[in-house]
Amino acid sequence: MSDVIYIDVLIAINIFVTWLLLACSVFFSAVQVKRWRLLLSSLLGGAGSLLILLPPAPWWLLAIEKLLLSALLVFAGFGFVKWSRYLRCFAAFFGVNFAFAGLMLALWLTLKPGGMLYQNGAIYFDVSLLAFVIFACACYAIVRGLVALLRRRHPGANLCRATIQVMGSSVTLPAFYDSGNRLTDGFTGAPVAVAEYDALQTFLPGEFRPFFRGELGLPDLPGEHPWRARVRQIPFHALEREGLLPAFRTDQVVVKAGHGTQPTPGAIVAVTPDALSDGSYSMLLQASMLEK
């Protein structure tokens, strides 16, 4: 192949690849991230591909460079809340990198294209950008399919259904079980799940809806109101945000996953005005709500 490397093609290809790797990592780690963070991390990944222009480095120096670059990309893409979450995201990103690179190399060698350069952990293909995008999308689909197959073997990490029950009324929501979520009520020790306001709006009493939307404080209602003793505020910390979420105590939350159900009496449901997903679920469960 020609020794000429087009910098714009090199950076564009690696921005696209980094985005795909991050998207797979998000899917695998089940961590919610902001799109601007994924874009920032992808841009850093594109800039990191300029390492290919340096003289060949020894393997130990290359390993250090890749670890530092991966740590930076994960920090930019997922943020830092606590070490356990960061290490989970780092492990997902590193694992997806290995899987994606292996599939890319295997498929590429099978098709036997003309021109490929791999140096200092960066890769460059002497092909049209459109052909590479199509090829990379195929690799992404394969990696995501493998991840989905693995997650299907671990029901605790899958989507499920959760029924919230309060004084004879109930609402069932699509929910996601996050084994890393250990949020509890500081007063009672009850597990705290988080649900979207839009999904609960018709279930909540009308006089309390402004409170659950975060617009007003607790309404001035008589102490005998059936919901008065149930509502409270729960401290939360997520990414760069922290504060108080309006919440209510349930009679129980019944989670249905796989072929069984598990009730959690007295569970707390915190209400957020933000979307928790792209529409696939509207409630995040606390870890103990699906642990036997």
- Is 1 contained in some domain? no
Residue 175, pLDDT above cutoff 80:
yes
Give the per-residue pLDDT at 193: 93
126 and 227 in one domain? no
Q: Which two tokens stand for residue 98?
A: 């290995």
267 and 136 in one domain? no
Question: How much is the mean pLDDT over the chain?
Answer: 77
Domain count, the chain: 2
| Beta strands per DSSP E along the chain | 116-119, 122-125, 159-166, 169-177, 192-196, 231-238, 241-249, 252-257, 260-265, 268-272, 283-285
Q: Mark which of 153, 169, 188 sits at the end of a domain.
A: 153
**CA 75 to CA 240: how far, in whole Å?**
12
172 and 248 in one domain? yes
105 and 72 in one domain? yes
93 and 187 in one domain? no
Residue 270, pLDDT above cutoff 90:
yes
Q: Render pLDDT for 122-155 as a digit per residue (tens, 0 to 9).
A: 566 666 667 767 777 776 677 667 666 655 555 4
Domain of 270 in residue numbering reads as 156-289
Residue 239, pLDDT above cutoff 50:
no
3-state secondary structure of 29: helix
% of the chain exceeding 90 in pLDDT: 16
221 and 266 in one domain? yes
Q: Which of 256, 261, 259 is nearest to 283 (CA)?
A: 256
**CA 119 to CA 104: how far, in whole Å?**
16
Q: Mark which of 153, 179, 204 sits at the end of a domain.
A: 153
Q: Render pLDDT for 49-108 as a digit per residue (tens, 0 to 9).
A: 777 677 776 767 767 877 888 889 999 988 886 787 788 888 888 888 777 767 666 655
For the chain, the C-alpha Rg in angstroms (whole number) is 23
- Is 15 contained in some domain? yes
Give the per-residue pLDDT at 271: 93
121 and 133 in one domain? yes
| 54 secondary structure, DSSP code | S
pLDDT band (50, 70, 90) for residue 117: low
Give the per-residue pLDDT at 211: 87
Q: Higher pLDDT residue, 203 or 26? A: 203
149 and 160 in one domain? no
Q: What is the pTM of this model?
A: 0.50
Which CATH number covers residue 282? 2.40.70
Q: Mark which of 153, 171, 191 sits at the end of a domain.
A: 153
- Is 2 contained in some domain? no
121 and 230 in one domain? no
Residue 258, pLDDT above cutoff 70:
no
| Greatest mean pLDDT among 177-181, 219-223, 261-265, 275-279 | 261-265
121 and 183 in one domain? no
90 and 183 in one domain? no
